[in-house]
Copies of this chain bind each other. A is one copy, B any other.
Amino acid sequence: MQQATKTLTISTSRIGLYEFTEAAFAFVKETKISTGLLTLFVQHTSASLLIQENADPEVQRDLERFFQRLVPHGDPLFRHTSEGPDDMPAHVRAALTATSLSIPIQSGRLALGTWQGIYLYEHRTAPHRRKVVLQVMGE
């Protein structure tokens, strides 16, 4: 049983989805692990991970529209406002989506479905540098 780890840094320019499917595939290929498990872990509480359709870009924009309606910036419900009107909504969005994801590796490839892409979901309006830890375990 072998292991390998890598930390990806993803620069975000604004709220929205940032695909890194290819970087995850490339890392798995590098490790030469044929059967095993990839774990993804985002080291932030105002950004999260998401597996979503990567065919029609409108899906990503609709997803963002949904979250803007569900947890609007500046929502008067919130008292943690010192870091800006988008900060507490970002924490709520992160709670509603994923901090970690586990994807099986089969025949040296991630077992993603045809339309699945792996995304970092940036929930803040300002640019950030986000870190995602990739951990592979297998043979």
Contact = CB atoms under 8 A, between A and B. Distances in A.
| Copies of this chain held together in the complex | 3
A91 B41 contact: no
Interface residues of A, number: 60
Given A41-B102, A99-B51, A101-B99, A113 B91 contact: no
A115 B59 CA distance: 31
Contacts of A104: 5, 39, 41, 133, 135
B50 A95 contact: yes
Contacts of A45: 51-53, 113, 115-116
A36 B5 CA distance: 9
A35 B115 CA distance: 32
A92 B58 CA distance: 13
Nearest to A121: B95
A45 B53 CA distance: 6
Contacts of A56: 80, 82
Interface string A32-64: 000111010111111000111100101101110
Interface of A: 1, 3, 5, 35-37, 39, 41-46, 50-53, 56, 58-59, 61-63, 65-66, 69-71, 77-80, 82, 88, 91-92, 94-104, 106, 111-116, 131, 133, 135, 137-139
